[in-house]
Amino acid sequence: MSKRPARTDVPVEQTWDLSDLFSSNEAWVEELNQLSDQIETVTQYKGRLGEGAHILLSCLNAQDELLQRTIRVATYAQLNTSVDGTNPLYQENSSQASSTVASIHAALSFVQSEILELPEGVIEAFLEKENALGTYRKTLTELLDTKPHRLSPEAEAILASLGEVLDAPFAVYTRSKSADMQFEPIMNDKGEEQQLSLALYETLYEQSSNTNERRQAYASYTKAFNQYKNTFATTYATEVKKQVVMARERNYTSVTNMLLQPQEVTMEMYHNILDVIQTELAPHMRRFAKLKQRVLGLDTMYVCDLKAPLDPEYNADVSYHEAAKEVLESLEVMGSEYMEIMTKAIKERWVDYADTIGKRSGAFCSSPYGVHPYILMTWAGKMRSAFTLAHELGHAGHFALAGRYQRYHNTRPSLYFIEAPSTLNEMLLSHSLLAKSEEPRKRLAVIVQVLGTYYHNYVTHLLEAEMQRRVYAHAEAGKPITAKVLCDLKGSVLSDFWGDTVEIDEGARLTWMRQPHYYMGLYPYTYAAGLTASTAVAQMIQEEGQPAAARWVEVLKAGGTKKPLDLMKMAGIDMSNTEPIRKTVQFVGTLIDELEKGFE
């Protein structure tokens, strides 16, 4: 395998087209420079928000317009650094964008502070008097709920101006991974050197059917991460300390309580996801691990073996275009409007899937309001990548529809809901593939891919969430956070889940370093919440067909206008109790039952 290509050396169709955001870097710089001048369109209302409903409405409308422009500027800088963190121009742009965004948020902090200082009942009266203000009802209600936790206007302005500094832990982490971290090459069975990158490990080598290749890559991967463990531990400890201090200063009972409030999720809902899945899923996943160990003929099962294909002959290579066609066919039940968005995403270069120097690992969908979503992933040439594509297209379809039917401030729902649209697309792809799999062996191969979705969301991300729960408890008890502490905590999380079926080695204990999710609040557990909901919706679509899909599209169009439980109830799911969680775990168990029978 040759060295990873530079951005300029890959076919343009494998990269996204950012010209829909800005026609050139010069155009972006011009807009960046103009943003600061536009702050006055909002600050002209400073000190006046109590004068009347029309003044408040004008201020909120002006703020909405400025934030829309700001998000486009920030997105352009972020997308460029995501595909090449080594590029000095992109690094400079990212720094300038962060600084500008921080200054804008500092200047606009008066809006929330002044609203919260208004006498009780004033906002309610304004909403009754000015019908047009109704679009901000949910936003204003949620803001009023934070009143007991707000600092003084001066303190809030200072915190807003320090946005770039407060985001530094995440910036240091991502820049180190994409721009500085290097991996030693490995040798294939022919004695040829194989290049390794973060993206290639996670999308290709971790899923290799060649045990020697897979474990060599794991050793190289582990060695690179081990060299950064003290730096990353300090970085993450700083992030955690920031959250602990903020929670204390804002009079929250805990960091978890603070981070759950904007999600509109109760502590019971949060702990239900973590406790039920870990307790009831672990026995099924241990059976899955033992099955893999037996079928693959492994003396010892390591964490790096958990994603190895059970039947390599049915883990054939698949091109991006072949997979895209399969994904689009699986989504046709969603209707013409949804399919129009999906087709554009594929044909109009919304997706960046080349593996190039400096590109960050993982996958994401960025959805700047007023443009269209952008998807980043790295194509590994296997069906697992097709599920990743389906997942990110789910985010794209969600926010394209929300942006079409809602104003900027009403587009984003709670994080608790955010992963339901993405994982639903994975479920629909799995149903489509299973329906086409008449041959028993091929059906088993598809089930393995479906389990990949549950493994990713119900195991990988959920265990990240359990790691977060333990780290915050550790920090709030006043205990130091070091590399050793983090490795020990991660090791115990993995051991508690896998028992003695999987060997928890040094590399496994370092996996707290892999994901950026730890810097995104209580995000990891929401994957399991989303997949629980999407499993139920997918079953409804399978039973009812288009009517159930149409209900789901209406949910997507609602954006952030409803609380997460209400959005899910629109689709026919009640997530206020543990029943949907337990049903999903049971479904995973049936998939493993079928695999065990098929590989007897």
In the chain, count of helices (H) and strands (E)?
A: 26, 5
Residue 332 has pLDDT above 90, yes or no: yes
Please name the residues in contact with 12: beta carbons below 8 A apart, sequence gap of 6 or more.
Answer: 349
Distances from the Cα of 274 to the Cα of 459, 483, 486, 516, angstroms: 10, 24, 19, 19
Q: CA 520, 523, 526: angle at the middle one, nearest 5? A: 170
Which long-range contacts link 569-572 to residues 24+ away (Cβ below 8 Å)?
A: 571/533, 571/536, 571/537, 571/540, 572/536, 572/537, 572/540, 572/548
* Average pLDDT of every residue of the chain: 94
Q: CA 380, 383, 386: angle at the middle one, nearest 5? A: 80
Pick from 85-94, 198-207, 228-237, 478-487: least confident: 198-207
CA dist 200 and 177 (Å) reads 13
For the chain, the domain total comes to: 1
Residue 18 lies in a domain: yes
**Number of residues in the chain:** 600
CATH (domain of 84): 1.20.140.70
User: What pLDDT score was predicted for residue 246?
Assistant: 96
Q: Which domain holds residue 87?
A: 7-166
Closest CA relative to residue 527, chosen from 416, 408, 399: 416
Tens-place pLDDT, residues 160-218: 888 889 999 999 998 888 788 889 999 988 888 988 888 888 888 998 989 999 999 99
Residue 86 lies in a domain: yes
Residue 581 has pLDDT above 50, yes or no: yes
CA dist 525 and 528 (Å) reads 6
Phi, psi of 156 (to 5 degrees): -65, -35
Q: Which residues of 381-418 are buried (b: 16+ CB within 10 A; e: fewer)?
A: ebbbbbbbbbbbbbbbbbbbbbbeebbbbbbbbbbbbb
Residue 312 lies in a domain: no
User: What pLDDT score was predicted for residue 190?
Assistant: 87
Kindly calculate the radius of gyration of the chain based on its CA atoms and give it in whole angstroms.
24
CA dist 23 and 412 (Å) reads 26
User: What pLDDT score was predicted for residue 276?
Assistant: 96
Give the residue carrying structure tokens 């039952």: 593
Q: Is 576 exposed, middle or buried (0-12, 13-18, 19+ CB in 10 A)?
A: middle
User: What pLDDT score was predicted for residue 73?
Assistant: 98
Residues in a beta bridge with 193: 187
Closest CA relative to residue 98, chosen from 154, 39, 35, 41: 35
Q: Cβ distance 382 to 318 under 8 Å?
A: yes
Q: Cβ distance 183 to 221 under 8 Å?
A: yes
Closest CA relative to residue 494, chosen from 484, 504, 481: 504
CA dist 83 and 375 (Å) reads 11
Residue 117 has pLDDT above 80, yes or no: yes
The encoded tokens of residue 50 equal 């109590």
Sequential DSSP letters for 382-410 = SHHHHHHHHHHHHHHHHHHHHHHHS-GGG
Residue 293 has pLDDT above 90, yes or no: yes
Kindly state the average pLDDT of the residues 451-472.
95
User: What pLDDT score was predicted for residue 313?
Assistant: 75
Residue 342 has pLDDT above 60, yes or no: yes
The encoded tokens of residue 428 equal 């629909």
Tens-place pLDDT, residues 44-80: 999 999 999 999 999 999 999 999 999 999 999 999 9
Sequential DSSP letters for 105-121 = HHHHHHHHHHHHHSPTT
CA dist 150 and 510 (Å) reads 37
User: What pLDDT score was predicted for residue 1?
Assistant: 40
Residue 108 has pLDDT above 60, yes or no: yes
Check residues 392 and 85 and name the one with the higher pLDDT: 392
In three state form, how does the secondary structure of 492-559 look? HHHHHHHCCCCECCHHHHCHHHCCHHHHCCCCHHHHHHHHHHHHHHHHHHHHHCHHHHHHHHHHHHCC
Per-residue pLDDT band at 600 (split at 50, 70, 90): confident
Q: Is 119 exposed, middle or buried (0-12, 13-18, 19+ CB in 10 A)?
A: exposed
Sequential DSSP letters for 560-574 = TSS-HHHHHHHTT--
User: What pLDDT score was predicted for residue 188?
Assistant: 86
Residue 404 lies in a domain: no
CA dist 257 and 334 (Å) reads 36
Q: Cβ distance 174 to 228 under 8 Å?
A: no
Residue 56 lies in a domain: yes
Q: Cβ distance 93 to 80 under 8 Å?
A: yes
Pick from 27-41, 183-197, 474-488: least confident: 183-197
Closest CA relative to residue 534, chosen from 414, 391, 410: 391
Distances from the Cα of 486 to the Cα of 172, 223, 246, 515, angstroms: 18, 17, 22, 14
In three state form, how does the secondary structure of 228-286 look? HHHHHHHHHHHHHHHHHHHHHHCCCCCHHHHHHHHHCCCHHHHHHHHHHHHHHHHHHHH
Distances from the Cα of 344 to the Cα of 14, 312, 400, 585, angstroms: 15, 33, 11, 35
The SS3 assignment for 376 reads strand
The SS3 assignment for 362 reads coil
Phi, psi of 167 (to 5 degrees): -90, 0
Residue 543 lies in a domain: no
Residue 582 lies in a domain: no
User: What pLDDT score was predicted for residue 2?
Assistant: 46
Q: Which residues of 531-553 are buried (b: 16+ CB within 10 A; e: fewer)?
A: bbbbbbbbbbbeeeeeebbbbbb
CA dist 529 and 420 (Å) reads 7
Closest CA relative to residue 115, chosen from 126, 128, 130, 101: 126
Q: Cβ distance 99 to 164 under 8 Å?
A: yes
Kindly state the average pLDDT of the residues 346-361.
94
Residue 11 lies in a domain: yes
